[in-house]
């Protein structure tokens, strides 16, 4: 009986040993080495030739020229390509598509827009944007999407999410498409200091990384004027103060000059859009070191495609006035040295085209390296994630992209990203 038992044990032991050996041989290498002809050092603005980046797990362990590659490392040779840090878009709406600027959004449920977000997250990541800030989604759908990506359920960029943006009743970011009898009000509506504090704290309770405030009217909303302010200075100070006290940044949708100034004086971290910024606003933003997140390429796409997406005539009329004006004022702000972080408002135009913003920023006066820094160094600073993303340096997440050619000579090469790595895993090649 003992002999039989020993024979059975041996019979089972051999396959198990072979399985263990097979699993060990299939284990990923301890180090991955990425080789490329060039690497853009976004701090210095210099190209590093014969680049090697060493990655272990999710993190970069070393980066430089002609680094020694450890024995047994997996080598990814990108040939003549140029490596850059994964790009960062500070103003997206992943759960929206361009056609949602019209009445069709009324028919979309929260589950439906969440699935739209999953599609757009994948497109955004494949376009080379490994980190985004999502600044406004119904029903906390952006927060759910962020968590699903973090859990590995769906592919997508790292997300700093805001949840429902704060708005005054009837303002931009309130629901202005329903008739009065439906009594429809957006989830983020808050009037007065007490309500504003409650909604701010509720957003944080449900997972918001950043608090989004609609400080002025907007373009894609009915019955409001983008030039007019919405929240008072007292309300803005309460919202922003609470956000900061609770460890969150705050971003203000602000087209109009007065709304920009009020938000800056209240301590806002970033002004989104800035279409009617004037000399006083420029001066205040420089003094307070407030970031400007211009979203200028969308003007081309939205006006050219207004008929195709059935943009309601009152909204198109506003777009034709505000968006060209924004370019003139943003160019003045750039020339004056207002700090700029990259943002697109993707969702107003198709996700995946985010990099078209680079060419527009260069047309408005930025050099290619300034535009690239806006989407790497500057954006990581505004996020508060300088220890995680924004550069190719030891200790940072292995978020990398590769392009053909040299983006310092032609920034539009970033519109055709050929290879993407997020957290040490190749996601597009």
CATH number belonging to domain 32-85+391-428: 2.30.40.10
27: pLDDT strictly greater than 90: no
Lowest mean pLDDT among 7-16, 146-155, 189-198, 204-213: 7-16
Report d(CA 57, CA 38) in Å as an integer.
23
CA 51 to chain centre: 27
Compare 375 and 21 and report the one with higher pLDDT.
Answer: 375
Q: Which residues contact 10 (CB under 8 A, 6 or more apart)?
A: none
* Active site residues per annotation: 212, 345
Portion of the chain with pLDDT greater than 90, in percent: 87
Q: What is the pLDDT of residue 28?
A: 53
Taking all residues of the chain, what is their mean pLDDT, rounded to a whole number?
A: 93
Q: What pTM was estimated for this model as a whole? A: 0.92
Identify whether the C-beta of residue 103 lies closer than 8 Å to the C-beta of residue 355.
Answer: no
* Gap between the Cα atoms of 208 and 233, Å rounded: 23
pLDDT for 238 beyond 60? yes
The full set of domain ranges for the chain reads 32-85+391-428, 87-354
CB 183 within 8 A of CB 155: no
State the pLDDT at residue 103.
Answer: 80
- pLDDT band for position 107 (cuts 50, 70, 90): confident
Q: Residues of 301-331 as b/e, b for ≥16 C-beta within 10 angstroms?
A: bbeeebeebebeeebbebbeebbebbbebbb
- The residue-averaged pLDDT of 192-212 equals 98
Q: With a cut of 70, say whether residue 55 has pLDDT above it.
A: yes
Burial group, residue 229, by CB count within 10 angstroms (0-12, 13-18, 19+)? buried
> Which CA distances in Å does 102 have to 39, 97, 408?
43, 10, 38
Q: How far is CA 72 from the centre of its chain?
A: 36
pLDDT at res. 11: 44
Tell me what pLDDT residue 3 has.
41
Does the structure show a pLDDT above 80 at 239? Answer: yes
Q: Average of pLDDT values for 352-370?
A: 98
Give the fold, CATH level 3, of 87-354: TIM Barrel (3.20.20)
Taking the C-alpha atoms of residue 267 and residue 64, their distance in angstroms, rounded to an integer, is 39
> For 270-305, how does the pLDDT look when each residue is reduced to its tens digit (9 = 90+)?
999 999 999 999 999 999 999 999 999 999 999 999
pLDDT value for 428: 77
């Amino acid at each position: 009986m003992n002999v039989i038992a020993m024979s059975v044990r041996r019979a089972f032991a051999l396959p198990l040993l072979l399985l263990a050996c097979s699993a060990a041989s299939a284990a990923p290498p301890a180090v991955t080495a990425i080789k490329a002809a060039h690497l853009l050092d976004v701090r210095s603005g210099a190209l590093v030739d014969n680049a090697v980046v060493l990655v272990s797990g999710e993190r970069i362990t070393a980066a430089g020229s002609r680094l020694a590659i450890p024995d047994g490392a997996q080598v990814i040779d990108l040939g003549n390509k140029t490596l850059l840090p994964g790009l960062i878009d500070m103003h997206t709406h992943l759960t929206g598509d361009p056609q949602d600027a019209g009445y069709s959004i009324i028919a979309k449920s929260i589950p439906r827009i969440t699935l739209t977000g999953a599609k757009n997250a994948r497109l955004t990541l494949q376009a080379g944007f490994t980190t985004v800030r999502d600044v406004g989604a119904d029903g906390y759908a952006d927060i759910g999407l962020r968590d699903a990506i973090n859990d590995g359920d769906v592919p997508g960029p790292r997300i700093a999410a805001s949840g429902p943006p704060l708005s005054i009743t009837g303002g931009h970011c309130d629901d202005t498409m329903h008739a009065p009898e439906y009594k429809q009000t957006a989830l983020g509506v808050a009037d007065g200091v007490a309500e504003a504090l409650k909604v701010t704290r509720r957003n944080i309770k449900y997972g918001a990384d950043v608090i989004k405030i609609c400080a002025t009217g907007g373009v894609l909303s009915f019955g409001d004027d983008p030039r007019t302010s919405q929240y008072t200075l007292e309300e803005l100070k309460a919202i922003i103060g609470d956000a900061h006290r609770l460890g969150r940044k705050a971003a203000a949708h602000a087209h109009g000059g007065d709304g920009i100034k009020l938000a800056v004086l209240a301590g806002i971290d970033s002004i989104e859009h800035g279409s009617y910024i004037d000399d006083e606003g420029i001066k205040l933003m420089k003094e307070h070191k407030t970031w400007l997140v211009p979203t200028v390429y969308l003007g081309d796409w939205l006006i050219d495609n207004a008929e195709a997406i059935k943009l309601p005539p009152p909204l198109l009329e506003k777009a034709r006035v505000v968006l060209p004006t924004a370019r003139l004022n943003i160019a003045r702000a750039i020339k004056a040295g207002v700090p700029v972080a990259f943002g697109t408002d993707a969702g107003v135009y198709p996700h995946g085209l985010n990099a078209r913003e680079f060419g527009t920023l260069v047309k408005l006066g930025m050099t290619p390296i300034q535009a690239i820094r806006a989407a790497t160094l500057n954006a990581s600073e505004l996020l508060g994630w300088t220890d995680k993303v924004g550069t190719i340096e030891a200790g940072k997440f292995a978020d990398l992209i590769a392009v053909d050619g040299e983006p310092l000579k032609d920034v539009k090469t970033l519109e055709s990203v050929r290879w993407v790595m997020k957290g040490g895993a190749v996601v597009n090649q």
